Amino acid sequence: MCTRFATEIVHKRTSPSDTVSVTVEIIPDSNETQERKELLSSWRPLAFGPTLDKETMNSIFKQAESVIIEDHADVRPGRRPKYSRLSSSVLRITKRGPDEKNFAILYIPGLVRDVIDLERQEVLHMLDEIEDKESRIVGVINKCDTKQMQSHDWVFELIKNDDQSPRYLKEGWYGLRNRAPIEANNSDAERDAIEDAFFSGDEWNRLNKKRLGRHHLRSNLIKIRNRHVKQSIPILLSEIKAKLALCNNDISKLGPPCDTNFQQFTLINGIATKYSRMAENSLNGNYRGLN
């Protein structure tokens, strides 16, 4: 579903004993008035279950849009009324549960300004500002079926991902076919079958098939994630060892363990005896014995 505001979807893994929960909130744009910030921050959607199915997501988006978007007209002398189309506030949907994977994705609308001219794509100018973008970013063109004839060249060139291209990405560019509005109720299998049939057309044969379709994108994202996990393991192990050493040091300061009743009695009895001796020395003026 296309929106007029940014949407952040977050998955967080919790302990095995926790139940699945979903929270929905709006993060107000810093430029909003204080009144608007309070309104957006306090907003919550109507009650829904932990399952984020299509109907639930559509309902959340519509409810959020009714609050985030202010369709007031900007009327200036001699000009037609101009309505606010986009908002910089963010709708955040967070799902927590023991089976979730720690993952977040942010969808930002309104970045495609001209489907014909590649260099007028705002999203590409944003990429230019990201350090080491070639190895940190995966490019996705998600409406390959709606491209205009004049946009064929740059769509194909991006997916081809020539290493001499100024838009080259180490992790590659991928082409997807989104569901059409009339396909909203199609199953995932039906959606995938339509996408496979679309990319089997002659015009796509000159591209690497592993760069086309949802399954290939998903497979590559899993590989990228696994690679990052492997790269992070040595650092993670070092952090675990350092924290374990601190924990063991704190435990050692507590003295020997007292697992049995006798050990616990001995400890308390020793403390009581020491306290009694200190009190007796204080009463007798024997301050050396207080050490």
Give the CA-trace dihedral at 68, 88, 42, 44, to 10 degrees: 60
Q: Which of 20-29, 145-154, 221-230, 249-258 has the highest mean pLDDT?
A: 20-29
- Specify the DSSP element, H or E, that contains 178: none
Strands (E), 68-124: 73-74, 82-83, 87-97, 103-107
Predicted pLDDT of residue 72: 46
8 Å CB contact between 172 and 139: yes
Q: Both ends of the chain: CA-CA distance in Å?
A: 74
Question: What are the tens digits of pLDDT across the range 65-123?
Answer: 989 987 544 444 555 444 456 788 899 999 999 988 888 887 777 555 555 666 666 67
The 3-state DSSP class for residue 266 equals helix
Average pLDDT over residues 134-163: 78
Average pLDDT over residues 131-159: 75
For 107-122, letters b (16+ CB in 10 Å) and e give ebeeeeeebeeeeebe
pLDDT at 38 over 90: yes
Predicted pLDDT of residue 102: 81
Predicted pLDDT of residue 71: 54
Average pLDDT over residues 54-64: 89
* CA-wise closest residue to 138 among 201, 195, 11, 223: 223
pLDDT at 136 over 70: yes
pLDDT at 14 over 70: yes
Q: Report how far residue 185's alpha carbon sits from residue 183's, in angstroms, rounded to the nearest whole number.
A: 5
The pTM for the full model equals 0.61
